[in-house]
């Protein structure tokens, strides 16, 4: 079962069996190996080929729990909240952050992230991310194949009232190398959005490393191996 909001973003997609990230990774590798001719094709004066279609089917219990939490959030905390609008806004936010990383303009992060996350990301942009990673990471909305909520955390303690929503993002894009060759790139991200109901705005609370092993601790640093080419 997949929410209509997610389906509305990705129309006419082929539905594959419920899959883990490792399975998606294997399918990605199979696609690139079978289409090696496309992978090394010079694309000057040609249109980019369509990227493979994927729809992620989440675990049923997790999906139901997330749906219930969204309904509770809308009914008791935020009557104006809708899942579709949130997912749409999330796609725009993810694309904007990757664009800032790509252009290497950390000053443009002001107002988009929590203070702690902003400091960490600036450090990563300066000392960790390579030029090739910055060149690859930029996403457009049409690159995003999977954008699904993974968890919702509502916190109401004393004067603090906030909502955190974890999102999983998988994107496929074509990347033209310096020699003109075309490579299919998989960009996988785990992000977390925070809404503080004291000021009423959503901000990116965490921009974690691309997904490697779901269910294990996320390393807050980007590594070369995480941007698959």
pLDDT digits (tens, 9 = 90+) for 65-88: 999 999 999 998 888 899 999 999
Of residues 9, 209, 15, 2, the one with CA closest to residue 91: 9
Of residues 56, 73, 59, 58, the one with CA closest to residue 165: 73
Residue range 18-43+51-226, CATH number? 3.10.450
DSSP assignment of 18-54 equals: P--HHHHHHHHHHHHHHTHHHHT-B-TTSPPPPPPP-
pLDDT at 33: 56
pLDDT at 72: 92
CA 78 to chain centre: 24
Cα gap 29→19, rounded to integer Å: 15
Could you tell me the sign of the dihedral formed by the alpha carbons of 152, 93, 134, 120, in that order?
negative
pLDDT at 27: 56
Q: What angle do CA 67, 70, 71 make, to 5 degrees?
A: 90
Q: Would residue 223 be called left, alpha or beta, if left means φ above 0 and alpha means ψ between -120 and 50 degrees?
A: beta
Tens-digit pLDDT string for the chain (229 aa): 333 333 333 333 333 344 455 555 565 566 555 554 444 444 444 677 888 887 777 789 999 999 999 999 999 888 889 999 999 999 999 999 999 999 999 989 888 888 888 899 999 899 898 888 888 899 999 999 999 899 999 988 877 788 999 999 999 999 888 887 888 898 888 888 988 877 655 555 555 444 333 332 223 333 333 333 3
Q: Is 201 helix (H, G, I), strand (E, B) or coil?
A: strand
pLDDT at 179: 82
CB contact at 8 A, 117 and 204: yes
Q: What angle do CA 70, 71, 72 make, to 5 degrees?
A: 90
Q: What is the DSSP letter of 180?
A: S
pLDDT at 225: 31
pLDDT at 58: 79
Mean pLDDT of the chain: 73
Residues pairing with 165 in the sheet: 152, 193
| pTM recorded for the entire structure | 0.64
Domain positions in the chain are 18-43+51-226
**Crossing angle for the helix pair 83-103 and 115-127, nearest 10 degrees?**
40
pLDDT at 101: 93
pLDDT at 202: 54
Of residues 210, 219, 204, the one with CA closest to residue 115: 204
Of residues 172, 166, 177, the one with CA closest to residue 187: 172
Of residues 144, 140, 195, the one with CA closest to residue 168: 144
pLDDT tens for residues 152-183? 999 888 777 889 999 999 999 998 888 878 88
């Amino acid at each position: 079962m997949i929410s209509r909001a997610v389906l509305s973003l990705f129309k006419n997609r082929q539905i594959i069996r419920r899959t883990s990230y490792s399975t998606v990774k294997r399918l990605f590798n199979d696609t690139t190996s079978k289409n090696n001719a496309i992978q090394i094709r010079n694309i000057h004066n040609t249109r980019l080929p369509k990227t493979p279609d994927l729809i992620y089917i989440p675990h049923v219990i997790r999906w139901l729990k997330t749906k219930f939490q969204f309904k509770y959030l809308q009914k008791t905390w935020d009557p104006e909240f809708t899942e579709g609008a949130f997912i749409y806004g999330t796609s725009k936010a993810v694309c904007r952050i990757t664009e800032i990383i790509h252009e290497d303009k950390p000053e443009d992060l002001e107002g988009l992230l929590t203070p702690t996350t902003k400091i960490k990301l600036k450090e990563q942009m300066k000392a960790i991310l390579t030029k090739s990673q910055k060149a690859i990471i930029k996403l457009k909305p049409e690159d995003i194949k999977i954008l699904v909520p993974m968890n919702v955390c509502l916190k109401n303690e004393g004067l603090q009232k906030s909502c955190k929503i974890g999102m999983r993002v998988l994107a496929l894009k074509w990347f033209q190398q310096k020699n003109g060759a075309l490579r299919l790139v998989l960009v996988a991200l785990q992000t977390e959005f925070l809404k503080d109901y004291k000021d009423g705005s959503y901000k990116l609370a965490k921009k974690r490393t691309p997904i490697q092993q779901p269910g294990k601790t996320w390393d807050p640093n980007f590594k070369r191996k995480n941007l698959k080419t």
